[in-house]
Amino acid sequence: MLKKIWTKVIYDQKLSLGFWNLGFIGISLLIMSMYPSIKLSGDALDQTIKSLPNEMVELLYGGAVQSITTPIGFLSMELYSLIFPFGLIIYGVTNGINAIAGEEKNGTLELLVTLPITRIQLAYEKYFSLVLGLLLIIIPFSTFIIIFKGLFGLEFKPILIIIAGIELFALALCLSSIGFALATATGNKSMSIGITYSITVFSYLWNGLAGLVQEIENTKSISFFYYYSGIKPSSTRIDIVEFISISLFSVLIVSIAIFIFNRRDIRT
Amino acid sequence: MKNIIKMHNVSKYYGKFKALSSLTLNVEENQIYALIGPNGAGKSTAIRLMLGILNPSEGYVEVLGKRPTQKNVKIFKNMGYLPGELSTYQKLTGNEVLKFFSSLRNIDDDQYIRNLIERLDYDPNKYIKELSKGNKQKLGLILAFMHKPELLILDEPSSGLDPLMQQITIELIQEARLNGSTIFLSSHIFSEIDKVAERVGFVKEGKLIVEESLEILKSNAMKSIVIYFKETIPLNLFDNIKNVNLIETNKNVVKLNIFGPIDEIIKVISKYEIIDLTTQDPTLEELFMNYY
């Protein structure tokens, strides 16, 4: 595991990745086990949600409100609207920012950049480990939901979980890439954290607001959350153009950052 | 003789602060060069410029015949670096750190690494976070020497080490030199530089104020001489010799300081019968103090 930069990152994160997986699977189990009782008292809950102000529903669920008594609606509202996306964004942004800037702050980058490997290779291996880390969280909990959904009476096609997983990955990767790019280009961790989380919150709120305010409705697509639809009965295919666009955006900003990193002074 | 390190008119600014000012220095192949200066004089900045960690604001740097930029990353294969303060992965053991760095350097045979571990009496099973400053320094030395590089850049190599390990470090440096390596070091430990360096540069406030071979530097520096004559000598005996500073004359014993060669003094005193003559060369520390 200590033979390459990217394998070392995964090795370093073995405990942390274990806990992230435990957290995601644990919360999935907890929420899924609640479904049978929710289904029984579902009508009352549906009424409560319907009675909430539209603005609140739009901000909390991005307008994708379905009946909480249906398996898809239940998982969407309980897991895929807030917990999963924000959990993954926190993991991805934290690790993206620490990838280069964390090593720089700790002083460990000084020795790494005097090895016979290019900074480009170093940064891309770090980025690859970030991508891999996200997949190592998304794949286990998605597989867990697919395997155990039947135990709790959650009947739906597994493809919906796979599509939602891919969209989650694209959303988290996109925001993690912004964090990675800012921190790698500047070496400034605290500034990168501030800007990335501001973009995340702004993006989330804009997606909700644009659904409410007619004047800005056309600008909804500037939000990264616009491209994430969570889990929906209609989402049985991935929008390839959107997925490629988001992936290209991530690769582009990361490449620009690595170009800058390749030329800048290392903070010591 | 080929220059392994060339720094030409190199300046480095941090905003308005000038950390290094028009530094020009050359280190020849198979030479041991020591850069000396107080804290904040610019020694570590000069080293980081040689390693491409920093980019020069003005001038240029060449190491092993190439600029230390990302285009020439292969030169790092032949370079070993010991930072002034080693920061490495706290949660790994020494063995894991050595394994990681030797993999990235493509070192297959770890026999020399084991040899260094033994000589430096380093315990690689301990976690980095458990290590004292001295033990971290030992690990840093192993990381710098483990691939037998052509060029060693060592920032304070003996820092934090006990006298025995300082001696072993000196031996390692001398062995590397015998095996053809070029060594550039910065140090505060004058006895260490005195023992190993062939050429020294004094840096002050980002400027190189003097650069010379240690031998010449010492021969041109002030020497103390005590002469015991058999008989009383005239008081004005040394009046016509330049650069002599008479400290004490007591009948037949003369104490004096002289800058530069002592042949004039020898000529004058040879006319008298001498019982004893002692000369004391300045230490590097005394030389250093003269410049600061």
Domain range summary for chain A, segments of one domain joined by +: 5-261
Helices (H), B105-187: 111-119, 133-145, 163-178
Q: What is the least distance, in Å, from the CA of A214 to any CA of chain B?
A: 48
Interface pTM, i.e. ipTM: 0.84
A115 and B101: CB-CB below 8 Å? yes
Residue A126 tokens, joined: 């770090």
Under DSSP, the state recorded for B292 is -
**Which of A127-136, A185-194, B86-95, B247-256 is the least confident region?**
B247-256
Rounded distance between C-alpha atoms, residue B80 and residue B147, angstroms: 8
pLDDT tens digits, one per residue of A204-233: 988 888 877 778 878 888 889 888 887 776
The pLDDT assigned to A62 comes to 57
Q: Hey, what CATH topology would domain B3-88+129-217 get?
A: Rossmann fold (3.40.50)
A2 and B100: CB-CB below 8 Å? yes
Residue of B73, B93, B127, B150 to mutate for A, most A C-beta atoms under 10 A: B73
User: Average model confidence (pLDDT) for chain B?
Assistant: 89
* Per-residue pLDDT at A249 exceeds 90: yes
Rounded distance between C-alpha atoms, residue A90 and residue A102, angstroms: 16
* B46, B207 Cβ separation under 8 angstroms: no
A106 and B70: CB-CB below 8 Å? no
Percent of chain B with pLDDT over 90: 54
| Helix (H/G/I), strand (E/B), else coil: B208 | strand
Nearest chain B residue to A15 by CA distance is B91
pLDDT tens digits, one per residue of B57-66: 999 999 999 9
Rounded distance between C-alpha atoms, residue A93 and residue B69, angstroms: 30
Which has more pLDDT, B239 or A33?
A: A33
pLDDT tens digits, one per residue of B237-281: 888 887 787 777 887 888 888 877 788 888 888 888 899 988 877
pLDDT tens digits, one per residue of B12-36: 998 888 889 899 999 999 999 999 8
Domain map of chain B by residue range? 3-88+129-217, 222-291
- The number of C-alpha atoms within 13 Å of A235 and in the hemisphere containing its C-beta is 22
Partner B contacted by A115 (CB < 8 A): yes
Which of A4, A111, A114 comes nearest B88 by C-beta? A111
Nearest chain B residue to A106 by CA distance is B87
Which of B77, B83, B88 comes nearest A116 by C-beta? B77
* B80, B145 Cβ separation under 8 angstroms: yes
Residue of A16, A126, A263, A265 to mutate for B, most B C-beta atoms under 10 A: A265
Rounded distance between C-alpha atoms, residue A168 and residue A163, angstroms: 9
Which residues in chain B are contacts of A262 at CB distance < 8 A?
70
Q: What CATH class does B222-291 carry?
A: alpha beta
Residue whose C-alpha is closest to residue B66's, from B117, B5, B130: B5
Residue A257 tokens, joined: 């950052």
Residue whose C-alpha is closest to residue A264's, from A195, A184, A193: A184
